[in-house]
Homo-oligomer: A and B are copies of this chain.
Amino acid sequence: MSWEENVRKVVPYTPGEQPKVKNIIKLNTNENPYPPAPAVVEALKNMDAESFKKYPDPTCDVLVEAIADFYEVDKENVFVGVGSDDVLAMAFMTFFNSDKPVLFPDITYSFYDVWAELFRIPYKQIPLLDDFSVRIEDYFGENGGVVLANPNAPTGAQLPIDAVEEVIKRNPDVVVIVDEAYADFGGQSVLPLIDKYDNLLVVQTFSKSRSMAGMRIGYAFGCKKLIKYLLDVKFAYNSYTMNMPALELGSLAIKDRAYFEKTVSMIVNTRERVKKELRGLGFEFADSKTNFVFAKHKEKSGKEIFDYLRANNIIVRRWDAPRIKEHLRISIGTDEEMDILIAKLKEFLG
């Protein structure tokens, strides 16, 4: 007998590489190429380090209120956490305690099955169709919960809102999590449905469209009862999840609607241009509604292209998983960064 016998042994999620060297074009973790809103830059200069000696507000009021204001919901509809990963992990722990399997696609955010394993939640991965689209009827059977990323990652494909609503409506007895990490780039959200369906949790993040990946802020919307359950678990795990800079700077980041809309639209414009260029170079992909393109080349292998780019100081993301091993997930950077990517691809493919 040893203490090791009682260890919860898990196979952890592998995050994308965060290289420590400079002069790299980093298109591997879907970060935003633009800086955070100007008010964040300004407030950081005036932040009072002495205030760090006190605990932060455990209710995260300033941030919750700013999010509620922006989205025109009540504060009691909002939950915040240390990135959407923290929010999703707590949601899995809070809502998925059935003997029936939680359902999510086989190709989706690869943390879902890791959380299910961590919390010993039964789950079933449902194959996407060959074009990487979701067949919603696959989510109508008996289950312990449903998780859909919309737009999906790493495919970039977006389900119409009506289809997502149909999944929520057909599953009144379980919680349906809609992970909208990339929804700002697709222009659609099921947020308005939280008043209609008490089993809906909508999860979003500051890491992509808000340029704050380094600050670790995620948030979720749901009916008040559902958010209350999530808050209870949060307060049973860690009273103070969000530190002072996250609370203060996060609340400022979300207030600047004009900057947010401008930078999102810049990324969307770059994405649409890059799509055309990639198609011209022989890449195929589902229509992306995110800040990345998940593309496969008609002739060259994913590994070859990945290695060539890496050797040229451009990092994209790829997985060795069966159905997607020829694909590359390429984040949308600035126009200048994407020009260099395209030029390098032309060199290699042309």
Contact = CB atoms under 8 A, between A and B. Distances in A.
B3 A172 contact: yes
A227 to B, nearest CB: 12
Interface string A1-37: 1111011111111111010100000100101111110
B246 A18 contact: no
Contacts of A235: 12-15
Interface string A211-245: 11111100000000100010111111111111111
A94 interface: yes
Q: For this complex, into which size category does the number of interface residues on chain A fall?
A: 35 or more
A45 interface: yes
Given A82-B238, A235-B13, A214 B53 contact: yes
A167 interface: no
Interface in A109-144: 114-115, 117-118, 144
A50 interface: yes
Contacts of A20: 57
Given A49-B40, A95-B3, A216 B232 contact: no
Nearest to A216: B243
B216 A83 contact: no
A295 interface: no
